[in-house]
Amino acid sequence: MKNLLKYFKGYRAVAFSAPFFKILEAVFELLVPFVVAAVIDNGIPSGDKTYILRMCGVLVLLAAVGLASTLAAQYFSAKGAVGFCTNLRYALFEHIQKLGFSELDGVGASSLITRLTSDLNTVQSGLNMMLRLMMRSPIIVFGAMIMAFTIDFKAALIFAGAIPLLSIVVVGITLWCIPLYTKVQQRLEKVLLAAKENLVGARVIRAFCKEEQETERFAAENGELCREQKRVGRISAAMNPLTLVLINLAIILLIWQGALRVESGVLTQGMVIALYNYMSQILVELIKLANLILSVPKTVACASRMSAVLAIEPSMKNGTETDALEREYSVELEHASLRYSGAAEDSVSDISFRLEPGETLGIIGPTGCGKSSLVGLLPRFYDASSGSVKIFGRDVRDWDAASLRGLFGFVMQKNRLFSGTVRENMRFGAPDASDEDITEALKAAQAWDFVSEKEGGLDYVIEQNAANLSGGQAQRLCIARALVRKPKILVFDDSSSALDYATDSRLRAALSSLEYKPTVITVSQRVSTVMHCRRILVLEDGRCAGLGTHGELLESCDEYREIYESQIKAEEGGASA
């Protein structure tokens, strides 16, 4: 928790100003019962209207100064809370960008979204309240008790007895609620995860008629969240009635004792009214303090969850090398293996190959054999658990991450375009790319034909998740985005699955005619996509089942021959029929 205090940088003066003005307001408020007592004891019995009006003027002045202090405190507390959360939100987002895929997989996207949104909003609201009330309420409570002692010691003992009892109730319920609010946030994450999966996989759910099951699943998660919230709500709801009971008992006792002492001549009526006002102030402030205390467990729980994310150290340390070595090979893997965190077995095991600049490699194998995991080692999305991965002569661990990934043009298995114009998406990896560079890349990716027909051309606005594009169009734009930066190594991770064979063929021809001659690695389940590569790597259960040309693998690799016969011969048979 303490490590979060540094995010008050730039807002420390504001954060201190809020409680200062609240203290100022509290001091003026504590003077009010004394003025009222003076009016009752001195002004009313003597009928001195001038004195009464003068004291009323003092009350108005105290109210005006108190109002000004309150407005200043409200402004500074809001500004401090928003500023703190702005710094913290930025730091969280920046830290998440530094985490490796292993850490992101461990925390989970839904959890990170919850912490960046719901948790931060809770902290902002709680901090705003704390800056306003953390000093005012204690000062009013203990200040009222001290003022009561200046009026009458015996009556003030009632204050001294009531305040510890109230403190026990407030602190006890707070400590009880903190872990429960943590569970509520965890349940909220599960609800968010269920909602996210339903939104992302809406088409799959409808295709398999799983709407009812998913509705039941969401209802179950939502029900668990509701039960946790009711549980903590029942406990926290006990705070207000308990404090009200204790305070009202203290007020009854105070009035009883005050009446007896007025009758005996020890106290005046004004003094009793002042004591009653101080007890009423304590009652009001304790209700406010109770609301503050109720927000504290939520705030502490949410702040702890964000602190836990900031405490995660990236497992991959960034290297310092920024320049490629003059080597014969652009990509070298030597007995490289990959085992995901918490997995029992390697996803990729003992893979070795070398690629020269400009060479093409196809990677093929059944679903789940480790193709995407293997290419994820090259730009260091994951570190090899054993063996080595070298890019242009340097181990990927020695490369500066930005410099290493600047060598790559990566087309992911899933199309990821961002809301904005075509031009903005194309400049995602090359901010300085000209319209000519973008057009050239679009033509090579076989995307210029449909982009030129769109309204606005390069200024055509792509909606979120490319909802206004077909799967093939989005895929070609992703390919063009990778080509714009003119990378030295191009990786296509099953990125032609939505393309028809004719478009796929034209794409391969365009790639082979690129002037900058990149090393091209193509991952696919189609034999027709990889068979023209200079070499083909066949994966089976994460291991190398064969490495060679198309002709060599047909003769020597049973796994490749089975894939070929199941695809090419079946298509030829279907065409002849």
What does the H/E/C string look like for 191-253? HHHHHHHHHHCHHHHHHCCCHHHHHHHHHHHHHHHHHHHHHHHHHHHCHHHHHHHHHHHHHHH
- In angstroms, rounded to a whole number, what is the distance separating the alpha carbons of residues 539 and 157? 83
The stretch 438-442 carries a mean pLDDT of: 92
Q: What is the pLDDT of residue 575?
A: 46
User: With 90 as the cut, is the pLDDT of residue 208 above it?
Assistant: no
Confidence of residue 334 (pLDDT cuts 50, 70, 90): very high
Q: In this predicted structure, what is the pLDDT of residue 537?
A: 92
Q: Please give the pLDDT value at position 1.
A: 56
User: Apex CA 547: angle with CA 543 and CA 551, to 5°?
Assistant: 140
Q: CATH 3.40.50.300 in the chain: give the residue spans.
A: 412-486
User: Tokens for 74?
Assistant: 């409200």
Q: Is a pLDDT exceeding 50 seen at residue 94? A: yes
Output the pLDDT for position 576.
44
Q: According to the model, what pLDDT value does residue 574 have?
A: 47
Query: d(Cα 150, Cα 8) in Å, to the nearest integer?
Result: 39
Q: How far apart are CA 329 and CA 394, in angstroms?
A: 10
Highest-scoring range by mean pLDDT, 43-47, 65-69, 175-179: 65-69
| Range of weakest confidence among 255-269, 284-298, 404-418 | 284-298
Contact 130, 299 (CB under 8 A): yes
State how far the alpha carbon of 490 is from the alpha carbons of 154, 352, 388, 482, 542, in Å: 86, 19, 20, 8, 22
Q: What are the tens digits of pLDDT across the range 131-151?
A: 887 778 788 878 877 887 777
Contact 314, 96 (CB under 8 A): no
Q: Is the pLDDT of residue 248 over 60?
A: yes
pLDDT tier at 4 (50, 70, 90 boundaries)?
A: confident
DSSP state of 399: B
Instruction: Tell me the pLDDT of the chain averaged across its residues.
Output: 84
Q: Write down the pLDDT at residue 490.
A: 92
In the prediction, which pLDDT does 467 show?
A: 82
Higher pLDDT, 45 or 456: 456
Rounded Cα distance between 143 and 122, Å, is 30
146: its two tokens:
């001290």
Class at the top of the CATH hierarchy for domain 2-310: mainly alpha
Mean predicted confidence (pLDDT) in 301-327: 83
Burial class of 415 by CB neighbour count within 10 A (0 to 12, 13 to 18, 19+): buried
User: Cβ distance 537 to 547 under 8 Å?
Assistant: yes
- Tell me what the mean pLDDT of segment 379-396 comes to: 89
Residue 336 to residue 113: CA distance in whole angstroms: 34
- Please state, in angstroms and rounded to a whole number, the distance separating the CA atoms of residues 553 and 565: 12
Q: Is the dihedral of CA 74, 76, 81, 85 positive or negative?
A: positive
Which pLDDT value is given to residue 577?
Answer: 43
Rounded to an integer, the average pLDDT of 347-351 is 90
- Alpha carbon dihedral 296, 302, 307, 310, in 10-degree steps, equals -150
Per-residue pLDDT at 439 = 92
The residue behind tokens 């999966």 is 197
- Spatial CB neighbours of 167, under 8 Å, sequence gap ≥ 6: none
End-to-end CA, the chain: 71
Cα torsion angle, 129, 135, 138, 141, sign: negative
**Average of per-residue pLDDT across 153-171:** 77
Q: What is the distance between the alpha carbons of residues 136 and 66, in angstroms, rounded to a whole number?
A: 12
Euclidean distance between CA atoms 375 and 363, whole angstroms: 9
3-state secondary structure (DSSP) of residue 321: strand
Question: Could you tell me the two tokens for 41?
Answer: 């004891």
Average pLDDT for residues 493-513, to the nearest whole number? 80
pTM surpassing 0.75? no
Please tell me the predicted confidence (pLDDT) of residue 363: 92
What count of other Cβ atoms lies within 10 Å of the Cβ of residue 265? 7
Three-point CA angle 105, 109, 110, nearest 5°:
135
282-306 pLDDT, tens digit per residue, is 777 776 776 777 677 778 878 888 8
Give residue 337's pLDDT band: very low, low, confident or very high (50, 70, 90): very high
C-alpha span between 539 and 559 (Å, rounded) = 9
pLDDT in tens, 548-576: 998 899 888 888 888 888 877 655 554 44
Section 210-214 average pLDDT? 87
- In the chain, CATH 1.20.1560.10 sits at 2-310
Please state the φ and ψ torsions of residue 409, each to the nearest 5 degrees: -115, 110
Percent of the chain with pLDDT over 90: 10
Residue 361 pLDDT > 90: yes
pLDDT at 170 over 80: no
CATH 3.40.50.620 fits 412-486, yes or no: no
| Per-residue pLDDT tens digits for 49-82 | 888 888 888 888 988 988 898 899 889 988 988 8
Three-class DSSP labels, 465-476: HHCCCCHHHHHH
267-276, 381-390, 511-520: lowest mean pLDDT where?
267-276
